[in-house]
């Protein structure tokens, strides 16, 4: 179980370690980025906005990565895998709701493909070889899972996982679960845009800002400096 309080407590400890480590090491993060090949097969570019839903540990960092990705129209933190009644942070933190902390990504397929979203997911957004753990967070609510929104997405994701496992780009097999999305429920307002609003919070500094730097380095063509924020999107509607 991880309440917001316990996450912040872990953040303080992680931040202290990060400051100490910074004296002897460059960028240090709980999950290291891995350079991986693009998917051999991708979803066909369709007209209009498309939706992808993924889970990869704490949604603060995953949301932040895609808010800095070109072609992403919105990235919203939320919950997937359980029912509406339990789609709240206190319940999900118990690890007994079936929900995972997830991010709903709406994107323009003419600017970024579904395959590229998956490549970023497997490379810099999280460690796909860990199933129910990312960094200091443990539990099924922090699991690695792709919630496909179309049969084509599921097919592309299945093929890509097989491709990456065959290429042995990781030291361990990919543990990411894959299934069809039943429903996505946005998280509470205080979880939205968390990385951007709290850049000096130790948890963010230690676990999540390095993901943004890795996105910038590894996916320079897909990186945008100004994040696409949830609150900014609401302000324009």
Distances 200 to 45, 131, 196, 220 between C-alpha atoms, Å: 38, 28, 9, 24
Burial of 130 (0-12, 13-18, 19+ CB in 10 A): buried
Partnered with residue 72 across adjacent β-strands are: 107
- Catalytically active residues are 58
Question: SS3 breakdown of the chain: % helix, strand, coil, rounded to 5?
Answer: 40, 20, 40
Q: What is the C-alpha to C-alpha distance for residues 208 and 212, in angstroms, rounded to an integer?
A: 7
In sequence order, the 6+-apart residues with CB closer than 8 A to the CB of 30 are 14, 134, 135, 136, 206, 207
Structure tokens at 37: 């090949």
Q: Name the residue among 136, 104, 107, 91 with its Cα closest to residue 48.
A: 107
Q: Would you call 83 helix, strand, or coil by DSSP?
A: coil
Chain centre to alpha carbon of residue 157: 15
CB atoms within 10 A of CB 235: 8
Q: What is the C-alpha to C-alpha distance for residues 225 and 29, in angstroms, rounded to an integer?
A: 20
């Amino acid at each position: 179980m991880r309440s917001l309080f316990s996450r912040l407590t872990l953040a303080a400890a992680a931040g202290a370690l990060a400051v100490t480590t910074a004296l002897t090491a460059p960028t240090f993060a709980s999950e290291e980025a891995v350079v991986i090949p693009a998917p051999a097969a991708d979803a066909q570019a369709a007209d209009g906005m498309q939706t992808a839903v993924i889970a990869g540990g704490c949604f603060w960092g995953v949301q932040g990565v895609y808010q800095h990705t070109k072609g992403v129209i919105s990235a919203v933190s939320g919950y997937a895998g359980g029912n509406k009644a339990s789609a709240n942070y206190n319940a999900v933190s118990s690890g007994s709701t079936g929900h995972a902390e997830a991010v709903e990504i709406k994107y323009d397929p003419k600017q970024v493909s579904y395959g590229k979203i998956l490549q970023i997911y497997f490379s810099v957004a999280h460690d796909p070889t860990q199933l129910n753990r990312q960094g200091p967070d443990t539990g099924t609510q922090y699991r690695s899972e792709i919630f496909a929104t179309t049969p084509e997405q599921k097919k592309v994701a299945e093929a890509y996982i097989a491709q990456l496992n065959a290429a042995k780009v990781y030291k361990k097999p990919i543990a990411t679960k894959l299934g069809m999305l039943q429903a996505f429920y946005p998280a509470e307002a205080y979880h939205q845009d968390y990385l951007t609003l709290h850049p000096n919070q130790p948890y963010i500094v230690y676990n999540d800002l390095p993901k943004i730097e890795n996105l910038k380095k590894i996916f320079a063509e897909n990186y945008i400096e100004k994040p696409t924020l949830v609150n900014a999107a609401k302000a324009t509607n």
